[in-house]
Amino acid sequence: MSQPQQQINVADLDLNQLSDVRRQLEEELSHLSDSFTQLKQAQSKFKACMDNVSEIKPQNKGNTILVPLTNSLYVPGKLSDPDHVIVDIGTGYLVQKTRAQAVKFYSAKVDYIRSNLETLEETLLRKRENMNYLMSIMQSKAQAQSQAKKS
């Protein structure tokens, strides 16, 4: 059974405690920003896959094409079945799908990532607002301390 979390007003903390909170917020912001970047990259990759599937034309059957193995490595191959493609559905599992099914699969992935990006963007915004609020409190406390030392 977990205990309810106790809320603490950051204005009641001293400068050392505020610095610890700031450090924690910076780490969270860094982690969330990295996650946002990785999701954007995954979204771009799925969009590129959709584009690649859309470029396959039935009239290219039997033609030599460059088959992407990675983003930067392509090998020559012959297009034997332009109506079907092999789709990596995750963790190394490959499935044969029609072009329409593949586009639908990648489109669903792009939409799913978009919704995660929107949620993550809202979280990042709230964390940045928290950081700005924390920094303003730290500045006012530092000013108050320096004024107290002058007196």
Using the predicted structure, report yes or no on whether residue 116 has a pLDDT greater than 90. Answer: yes
Angle at 130 between CA 124 and CA 132, to 5 degrees: 105
Residue 118: inside a domain: yes
Using the predicted structure, report yes or no on whether residue 1 has a pLDDT greater than 60. Answer: no
Please, which pLDDT band fits residue 2 given cuts at 50, 70 and 90? low
CATH number assigned to the domain comprising residue 128: 1.10.287.370
Residue 6: inside a domain: no
Helix residue ranges per DSSP H, 56-98: none
Percent of the chain having pLDDT more than 90?
A: 58
Residue 3: inside a domain: no
Identify the CA nearest to 97 among candidates 83, 79, 78: 83
Residue 143: inside a domain: no
Domain count for the chain, please give it: 1
The pTM assigned to this predicted structure is: 0.77
Residue 7: inside a domain: no
Beta-bridged to residue 44, according to DSSP, are none
Full residue range of the structural domain in which residue 36 is found = 12-138
Identify the CA nearest to 15 among candidates 110, 119, 140: 140
Identify the CA nearest to 18 among candidates 151, 114, 130: 130
Q: Read off the pLDDT of residues 48-89 as tens digits, 9 standing for 90 and up.
A: 999 989 888 888 888 888 887 877 899 998 888 989 999 999
